[in-house]
Amino acid sequence: MDLIDELDLKVIDCDTHVVEHYDLWTSRVPSKYGDRVPHVERDAGGIEWWVAGGKVLSPAAGLAIAGWKEPPPKFPAQLDMVDPRIWQPEGRLEIMDEYGIHAEVLYPNVAGFGAGRYTDFGDMELALLLLQAYNDWLADFRRVSDRYVPVMAVPFWDIDLSIAEMTRCAELGHKGLVFSQAPEDFGSPMLTDPHWDRLWAAAQEMGLSVNFHIGSGDTTMPQLLHPSAGVHANYATFPMTFFLGNARTVGSLIGAGVCHRFPDLKFVSVESGVGWVPFTLQALDWMWTECGVAKEHPEYDLLPSEYFPPPDLRLLLVRARPHAARGDRLRRRRQHPVRDRLPAPDEHVAGAGELGAATPAVHQRQARRPPPRRAAQDPAGQRHEALRPRLSRTTRPKPQDAARATGHRHREGPGTARCPGLPPIPCPGSTARFRGTPRSSE
C-alpha cells in the first residue's frame, strides 16, 4: 500500500493546461471573420504558431512540453513531435491512470490565463464568439469523462455578458471561471472595484469558484536578469514574481472586503505554491491591527488569516512541491502538459506524479534527519509550548523587554504560537481560530 492509498486520497491535478486543438476556433466560428480567427501557420523554420489577423499569438506546440527533451524556454516546433496523448482527451486519461491522477482541472493557454487576450481582437462581437467556442470545446472534455473539470473563460469586459456565459457554461458542466488578477491591464476596472460585485454575487449563487492563475494580467515576459545571465536563468527566475503576484491578489481581495461581502465564494490561487501563505497572512494580520482597520470597518468580523481555515494535515505529509489553495484544502498541482517534467511512474514510491519520495537517496536523507519534536497537548487537545519557535538563550528577549521595545502586548489563545516581539502565528492543524493578534497601543 503506497502513501496515497494509505491516506485514502484521490489526487486532483488542480492546474493542468489543455493544448488547444488546431481547429478549435476555425471549426466553430463563422468563416466570414477570415484570418482574424486564431489559426495555425508554419514558418520557414518549420515552427508552428498561433496567428490571428497577421499577429503571432504564441507557439502552437509551445506548451505541449511535458517530457520534452529540452528544458524551457525550448519547446517542440510542431505538435506531431510530442506524445499525442498530451492533447487528446482519451489519451490524457491513460496518462492520468499511469500517474495515479484521479481528476484534472482544465486551464487555457492561447487566450491567456485570465481571458485577457480576447480583448486584443478589437471586435468584441468576434471576441465573444471566440470565447464561447473555447468554453464549448472545453466542455467536450467533460463529455469524454467526468474526471475532467472545466473552468470557463468569461467576457469580463461586460458584466451582463459574463453572468449570462456563467449560467450557460454551468449547465455544460463547468465548475468555475478563470479571472484576471489585473483586469485594469485590459481596460476594465481594477479587481477591488465594487464594479465586480454583481459578478462575485452570481458566482457565489451558482457555486462557481473564481480561479486566479499566475500571470493572468499583462503577460509580457520580464527580463529580470542581465542578458549575460543566460536565457534559462532568466526564464527560471521571473516566474517567482508571478507567484508573489498571487499574494498581492489575496491581500487585495481581503483588504477590499470582497471576502467579507461574499463569505461563501471560493477563490483559488493557481500555480502559485503555498509557501508564501503563512508570511502573507501574518503580515496582513499585523498591519490590519496596526493600521486600525477594525475602526474603519467595524463590520469586518474576521482577521485576514481567518479566511484561510487550517489545511488538512494529511496533505502536508506529502512531499512539498507547489500546491494551490482552495477554501480549506490544498490540492496537488500536476500542471500537465506544461513542464514540470513527467517522470517515469516507477520513479516515485507513491505512484502519483510527483507525490511521494522520489528515490532511495531521498529515503536515506530522511532517515538521517532527527525525529520531529512532538507537540505537547493540553487536556483540550490544543498544541502549545512545544510548537513555539526556539531562540538561543543568548538572543531570547524577555517578554517585558519585547513589550517595551515594540509597545505591544500579546493575547494568546488556543491554536497560537508566539515569539516575543512578533505577532502570533497559527499552529497548523489547530481547531481553534486564530484571533491572538497584538492590539495597537494607544
Task: Read off the pLDDT of residues 186-220 as tens digits, 9 standing for 90 and up.
Answer: 999 999 999 999 999 999 999 999 999 988 887 66
Q: With 90 as the cut, is the pLDDT of residue 323 above it?
A: no
CA distance 207 to 165: 14
Q: With 50 as the cut, is the pLDDT of residue 363 above it?
A: no
Which pLDDT does position 222 carry in this prediction? 65
Task: Provide the β-strand partners of residue 329.
Answer: 326
CA distance 159 to 155: 8
Q: With 50 as the cut, is the pLDDT of residue 311 above it?
A: yes
CA distance 9 to 1: 12
Q: With 70 as the cut, is the pLDDT of residue 347 above it?
A: no
Which pLDDT does position 337 carry in this prediction? 58
Q: With 50 as the cut, is the pLDDT of residue 405 above it?
A: no
CB 153 within 8 A of CB 118: yes
Segment (H or E) for 278:
helix 277-290
CA distance 19 to 48: 13
Which pLDDT does position 2 carry in this prediction? 66
Q: How many helices (H) and strands (E) does the chain have?
A: 13, 13
CA distance 168 to 102: 26
Residue type, 79: L
Reading the block at residue 399, the C-alpha cell is 517578554
Q: With 60 as the cut, is the pLDDT of residue 140 above it?
A: yes
Is the Cα torsion angle 311, 313, 315, 317 positive or negative in sign? positive
CA distance 264 to 328: 12
Reading the block at residue 220, the C-alpha cell is 509580457
